Amino acid sequence: MFFSSTDKTVKDNFTKQQAAVDTLIAVLQIVTCDHIVSNVINIFIEVVGKAQPTKRATVLVNHGLTTVLFQIMKLAHTGDISLPDDVLLAIHVLLSRVGHKDRKFAVKARLHQSLMLTLNMVKSNSHNFRNLQPLLSVLKMYTSNSVNASYLGKHNSINIMFKIISACGRRHTVDLKLALENLNNMTKSKSNSARLVGMGGVPQLLALHADWQAMDIKHRFLLIRKSVLNILKNITNLKSGQKALQEAGGIQILYENALEASDCRDMESMVLLATVIMRKCFPRNKLPIMSTLNPVLFPLPQSASHTPECYFLPNFPANQGKSSSFQTYGPIPSRFTQTSSLENFISDKVGKVCEAFKSLMQSGNDIVGRWC
């Protein structure tokens, strides 16, 4: 029973036949022969299809397909049944296409002890990029759950992701993107972030970001660069991560990259992420002012594509023939410097208010006296 890739109506009609779907799922639950299991899984893979399987995937999930597949993986992990690697890989291909429609996908995987099976397959196929893509897709759905991410982090998953990242290079961009997204999900846990910092992963991430920044001139791989920045953002939630980023020269790298991308509108999200990371890591300094009422004038960075609106105001120093004051740093002389102290200024203002109030009261009494 096989379907052609163009027979969409046939596939839709098959999913509408509940008895046929339930029969195939029951076969997976009962039969332990690897050939029969492989044939049934291949049927489901062809039924679901490749191009955004939404409706058919929802139907299969509602019939309990993901639960049955996790049960098979649990039996294979415990050794109750022996399945070859190609059958397990086909199961992961099917899970990668229907798993996003199951809200409890990550929890089911943990309860059926499927996390380590998938991680071991990722480790054994770390250089087989054709098989690696569905495995990383399933692992990404696992790590969307914080409990799963912490569990996988304890079992050396971060080191495995770095090996995959270094092996992908510039050719296997899909696998690289999936590995970075997995690493991003894992580093949302502080314990995993500490593991990454401890294994010296911050310089590798900075080198990867700088490499793609220099190579991606046409901005085709923004998701890869954004994933790296998100990982750095998660790491800098820890003080050890901030220190590691500073020691690796990350502030200078991010600042230079942000300046290069400041004129491109497509790079606004990247600049924002880099700014957030730098704000976390940069040491806090006090403003060079005497009090909170003193303004400070700083020159804005020049840009060929954008001119700040304040440059066109009539009271702007450059428009008043005082362009030299724009180049100076530090506090501007305020009105408080013309008096001896701030207390004298306040007392003068209070005295004027009292005199105005007395004159107002006196004029009011004169008016009342006239009427009387």
* pLDDT for position 217: 81
* pLDDT for position 345: 66
The contacts of residue 181 (CB under 8 Å, 6+ apart) are 140, 227
Centre a 10 Å sphere on the Cβ of residue 189 and count the other Cβ atoms it contains.
19
Place of tokens 């085709």: 220
Task: Please state, in angstroms and rounded to a whole number, the distance separating the CA atoms of residues 210 and 256.
Answer: 10
Q: Where do runs of H (alpha helix) occur along 144-249? A: 146-154, 157-168, 173-186, 190-198, 201-215, 222-235, 239-247
* pLDDT for position 53: 60
Residue 170: φ, ψ to 5°: -105, -5
Task: Please state, in angstroms and rounded to a whole number, the distance separating the CA atoms of residues 149 and 136.
Answer: 13
Task: Please state, in angstroms and rounded to a whole number, the distance separating the CA atoms of residues 213 and 258.
Answer: 10
The contacts of residue 14 (CB under 8 Å, 6+ apart) are 3, 20, 21, 47
Per-residue pLDDT of the chain (372 residues), as tens digits, is 545 545 677 776 777 777 888 888 898 888 888 888 889 999 888 888 776 567 888 888 888 899 999 999 998 888 888 888 999 999 999 999 998 888 999 999 999 999 999 999 999 998 888 899 999 999 999 999 999 999 999 999 999 999 999 998 888 999 999 999 999 999 999 999 999 999 999 999 999 998 988 888 888 888 999 999 999 999 999 999 999 999 998 899 999 888 888 777 778 888 899 999 998 887 777 777 777 676 776 676 777 777 767 667 776 666 665 444 444 444 444 444 444 455 666 677 777 777 877 777 776 665 545 544
| Secondary structure (3-state) at 221 | coil
Give which of 247, 275, 281 is closest to 259, Cα–Cα: 275
* pLDDT for position 338: 43
Angle between helices 173-186 and 157-168 (to 10 degrees): 160
Q: Could you tell me how many residues make up the chain?
A: 372
* pLDDT for position 132: 93
- In angstroms, the Cα distances linking 201 to 196, 231, 256, 274, 307 are 5, 10, 21, 18, 40
Cβ(179)–Cβ(165) below 8 Å: yes
Q: Per-residue DSSP letters for 78-115?
A: HTSS---HHHHHHHHHHHHHHGGG-TTHHHHHHHTT-H
Q: How many helices (H) and strands (E) does the chain have?
A: 20, 0
Place of tokens 């009427």: 371
* pLDDT for position 328: 41
* pLDDT for position 315: 67
* pLDDT for position 87: 92
* pLDDT for position 367: 55
Task: Please state, in angstroms and rounded to a whole number, the distance separating the CA atoms of residues 339 and 343.
Answer: 9
* pLDDT for position 69: 93
